[in-house]
Amino acid sequence: MRDLDAINNPYREDKLVSACSIFGMMNVTGEAFSGEPIFRAMENMHDRGNGLGGGFAVYGIYPDRADCYAFHVMFASQAGRRATEDFLKHDLIIEHSEEIPTRKTEGIANEPCIWRYFAKPKSAMDESALEDHIAAMALRINNEIEESFVFSSGKNMGVFKGVGFPEQIARYFRLEEYEGHIWTAHGRFPTNSQAWWGGAHPFCLFDWSVVHNGEISSYGANRAYLESVGYRCALHTDTEVMAYAIDLLMRRQGLSAEMFANVVAPPLWTEIDRMNDGRRELHIALRAVYGGLLMNGPFAVVIANAKQMIALTDRIRLRPLTAATRGDTLYLSSEEAAIRLVSPDLDEVWTPMGGVPVIGRLGSLPRPEESTLRAQVA
């Protein structure tokens, strides 16, 4: 059978100019909605990608199995599938499994076999330990089982991605049949990494996901830091370090989104020097402890879990990002035009400051002033 690395790049490009499109939409009341507006918004940004990757993360997608961990897994061989199922069954009870429904779609080729497994632990564990265990299982499958790749493993959420334009991926996975209260999306224009099904965005570990436009030039230092605390990078893209930094800082260590931003996109030293004593000491301490997770290079990301959606750019804002609200809905996008297409009459629309996060939480919309003045971020 074909290896997953061979299921890539039908156009055989080597290095391309960076673009990428990112989009996020969240109803802060938790009400689920169709992804149709997201599909239209991504199609409007079609020319920011080149067909070498597209994908979506959806939260609130499996209400009938909300107490199960939903493993979405790609296989390049039946041997990989059997080995993965044996591994999952060792620690988990698989309540249901099925091939993820797809349809033949023009422009989608060389697709792997894609399954989902709804599972519960065999033995009782406290929530934090169980989350660590599920995340570790996904990492072990991706690093130790050949021809198998877990691309999401959280509760009541799922990632759908592959090699193609986003609108093709949406049609291929029949995403018009799903509803969720948070959707994030990505159209890929790869630069330094190959295009393959597992390398498309979103990247996900447990129930945290990230879509990324840009390039993390500090990848080597970031990877070394993350591997020193137990992560293993094997997915052939710089975005992987952002996904693992999110898992380490926000899920495992409980840092807020604001504090996460101060680690990966901190103020410049000239700004820190002008702070009052308490804030200056905080930022110096963050640099001392987490210096290896400072991320250089141009980037804009949209991050999500079941309770929040966050956007962040690099410190000097080398990649575009627009935020907007309408009623109970938060929009995040590479282009304002994509938001206006699906919601012409907005309540608020603004450009966030570099390095300052936009944070939408269940029950709470962000305000423009929160992400246009760094001084308001602790």
- The C-alpha angle with vertex 318 and arms to 314 and 321, in degrees rounded to 5, equals 80
Residue 285 in domain: no
Number of domains in the chain: 1
| pLDDT at residue 193, rounded to an integer | 63
User: Which range among 106-110, 125-129, 236-240, 260-264 has the greatest average pLDDT?
Assistant: 260-264
Residue 280 in domain: no
What mean pLDDT is predicted for residues 289-307? 96
Residue 359 in domain: yes
| pLDDT at residue 192, rounded to an integer | 63
- Flag the least confident range among 104-113, 227-236, 241-250, 348-357: 227-236
Residue 278 in domain: no
Specify the pTM.
Answer: 0.91
Pairing type for strands 299-305 and 69-75 reads: unpaired
For the stretch 282-291, what's the b/e string if a residue is b when 16 or more beta carbons lie within 10 angstroms of its beta carbon? ebeebbeebe
Residue 287 in domain: no
Residue span of the structural domain in which 240 resides: 4-262+295-373
| pLDDT at residue 6, rounded to an integer | 53
| pLDDT at residue 50, rounded to an integer | 85
| pLDDT at residue 295, rounded to an integer | 96
Q: Which residues contact 123 (CB under 8 A, 6 or more apart)?
A: none
For the stretch 64-78, what's the b/e string if a residue is b when 16 or more beta carbons lie within 10 angstroms of its beta carbon? ebeebbbbbbbbbbe
Residue 204 in domain: yes
Residue 158 in domain: yes
User: 306: domain CATH number?
Assistant: 3.60.20.10
Q: How confident is the model at residue 330 (pLDDT cuts 50, 70, 90)?
A: very high
| pLDDT at residue 165, rounded to an integer | 94
Catalytic: 233?
A: no
Q: How confident is the model at residue 36 (pLDDT cuts 50, 70, 90)?
A: very high
What is the DSSP track for 254-272?
Answer: ---HHHHHHHHSPPPHHHH
What mean pLDDT is predicted for residues 166-189? 95
Q: Calculate the average pLDDT of the chain.
A: 91
What mean pLDDT is predicted for residues 297-311? 96
Q: Which of 20, 68, 204, 233 is catalytic?
A: 20
Closest residue by Cα to residue 301 from 250, 358, 342: 358
Backbone φ/ψ region at 4: left (φ over 0), alpha (ψ -120 to 50), beta = alpha
Residue 269 in domain: no
